[in-house]
Structure 1
Amino acid sequence: MHRIGDLCFRSFTSTGLSDAVFVLVHGIGMSHRYLARLHAALSAQGTVISVDLPGFGGLPKPAGDAAIGEMADALGNVLDRLDVSGVVLIGQSMGTQWVVELAVRRPDLARAVVLIGPVADERRRTAMQQARLLALDTMREPPGANTLVMGDYLRCGPFWYLTQLRHMLGYPIEERIASIDAPVLVIRGGRDPIASRSWCRLLRSSAAPDTMLIEVPGRAHNVQHSAPAAVASAISHFCLQLALGRSEGGTA
């Protein structure tokens, strides 16, 4: 357990054979549990750290609010305590906002940034629109994924969920991503109604020139749970391309 001021974090680490470090950050209402399959799949590629953010996964809720920037700063402090840098920051859903903001504020920490099902589409930034998309996504997810989501939502509770939803809907990720120095990989499920293809293409065009977009066919928003091997393979390939670019003197 890590306490940063009024914010309480929890981390889970698996140590792999290579020196690569992957940091997994869940989305709104969720916890490390729905990242567990991706965590296991990436363990063969290096050290994997999954983080539960304040108020999620049964952790205490802060006495006050915690905006995107505050959460990102505290997450950076947690990684400092874990003595890691040059990591691959991987966020899913609202987790993409926290890792983007962290990469902007702490470029020393981010070797690369991976956005899985990034939110929120600039054309759909009302609570009602997001609720409709979430309902549609629920019908496209496997039962096991829905069970995890509902269980974590109950642990989070409506007050903290709605508090964070306000920040999620107000965060201009399409603007902030342009300030990231590190390479960016965007991943979406081919049937994800929340992170649409057009939205993900917009993010790709807004980020660094070496940004990549990969779709996993037939999967919805929680693609990291329903197709962990495919997502891990995409991340591994992306990191390999970065390593090859560096060895050849490129900027990637």
Structure 2
Amino acid sequence: MLTYDDIGTGPAVLLVHGHPFDRSMWAPQLMALPAAGYRAIAPDLRGYGESPVTPGTVPFSRHIDDLVELLDHLEVGAVVLCGLSMGGQLVMDFHLRHPDRVRGLALVDTTPHAETEESRRNRMAMADQLDREGMKGYADEVIWKMVSPKNPEVGAVVLQMMLDAPAAGAAAAQRGRADRPDYVESLAGATVPGLVVVGTEDEFTPVPVAREMAEAMPNTTLTIIEDTAHMPNLERPDTFNTALTEYLDSLPH
């Protein structure tokens, strides 16, 4: 069973963290959503935080089975899914496999596209590097792409979060991530309202990718947050929380 936080009452929102983070990246939302009348559920994915580590390869299907098991344990049926980066891709995979359990899709700084051959090789090489060298070299390399240099205090928190990640778990997740499918078609067929959020300085999943994704999804709002990179929920939490709660309030309860 995954380690998780479950805070508040009301309609449930499942918060799915990105790589190489853990559920603590949702700290501002774990305060704001219950105050707004929502139940916030934030797990550590397999291989991250305090959840079990499975070395080797963890396919997306295993992550989805873990999330379904958690929701069943908590007696949650249909849920609003909110995911950032890899977490957003897992949200899309969940929707592909279990559309009947999805009330809404909030996709944050993510992309629906499958890997290219080149990016797949790069991701597999990164996984091997994590297994060999641990988290520090990777964390130092990407920290100011994860967080805008305009937000150094947030950067320090995120850097420590990455350094604390279990390297074997992060590597296994990346190998599984390399083989994910393309989600454009399933998003185009979504029957639930969507929200797409992106930071203006995100180099991993830039604004044009977010705009394309929002335009592909029916009944979807695009929110662009200034002076943030890949983690607007931490860099500008008030702006992010307003966008998310307004979206949640718009859903039929």
TM-score by length of 1: 0.81
Q: Does 1:151 align with 2:160?
A: yes
Structure 1 position 165, deviation (Å):
2.1
Superposition pairs of residues 124-135 of structure 1, within 5 angstroms = 125=119, 127=122, 134=142
Distance in 2 (alpha carbons) for counterparts of 1:187 and 1:55? 26
The answer on whether the counterparts of 1:26 and 1:32 sit within 8 Å (CA) in structure 2 is: yes
C-alpha spacing 1:11/1:136, structure 2 compared with 1 (3 Å): closer
The answer on whether the counterparts of 2:197 and 2:223 sit within 8 Å (CA) in structure 1 is: yes
TM-score by length of 2: 0.81
Aligned to 1:107: 99
Aligned to 1:74: 66
C-alpha spacing 1:168/1:65, structure 2 compared with 1 (3 Å): closer
Which AA in structure 2 matches 1:140? S
Q: Does 1:137 align with 2:145?
A: yes
Aligned match for 1:39, one of 6, 10, 30: 30
Structure 1 position 159, deviation (Å):
3.1
Q: Does 1:85 align with 2:77?
A: yes
User: Residue deviations 1:157-209, cap 9 Å, x none?
Assistant: 333323322333442243443354322211011221212111112212332x1
Q: Does 1:12 align with 2:5?
A: yes
Aligned to 1:222: 231
Aligned to 1:200: 210
SS in structure 2 of the partner of residue 125 of structure 1: helix
Structure 1 position 80, deviation (Å):
1.0
User: Residue deviations 1:111-149, cap 9 Å, x none?
Assistant: 101011114766783538x97993551562423332333
The answer on whether the counterparts of 2:146 and 2:202 sit within 8 Å (CA) in structure 1 is: no
C-alpha spacing 1:232/1:138, structure 2 compared with 1 (3 Å): closer
SS in structure 2 of the partner of residue 73 of structure 1: helix
Distance in 1 (alpha carbons) for counterparts of 2:148 and 2:79? 32
Aligned to 2:133: none
Structure 1 position 29, deviation (Å):
1.5
Paired residue total: 234
Structure 1 position 212, deviation (Å):
1.7
Distance in 2 (alpha carbons) for counterparts of 1:240 and 1:108? 20
Distance in 2 (alpha carbons) for counterparts of 1:158 and 1:44? 35
SS in structure 1 of the partner of residue 119 of structure 2: coil
SS in structure 2 of the partner of residue 43 of structure 1: helix
Aligned to 2:249: 240
Aligned to 2:134: none
Which AA in structure 2 matches 1:100? M
Distance in 1 (alpha carbons) for counterparts of 2:189 and 2:62? 18
Aligned to 2:130: none
C-alpha spacing 1:151/1:139, structure 2 compared with 1 (3 Å): closer
Aligned to 1:97: 89
For structure 1, which runs of at least 5 residues remain unmatched after alignment?
A: 3-8, 247-252
The answer on whether the counterparts of 2:143 and 2:158 sit within 8 Å (CA) in structure 1 is: no
Deviates more, 1:43-52 or 1:118-127: 118-127
Which AA in structure 1 matches 2:58? A
Aligned match for 2:184, one of 174, 179, 185: 174
C-alpha spacing 1:10/1:58, structure 2 compared with 1 (3 Å): closer
The answer on whether the counterparts of 1:104 and 1:180 sit within 8 Å (CA) in structure 2 is: no
Which AA in structure 2 matches 1:29? P
Which AA in structure 1 matches 2:100? D
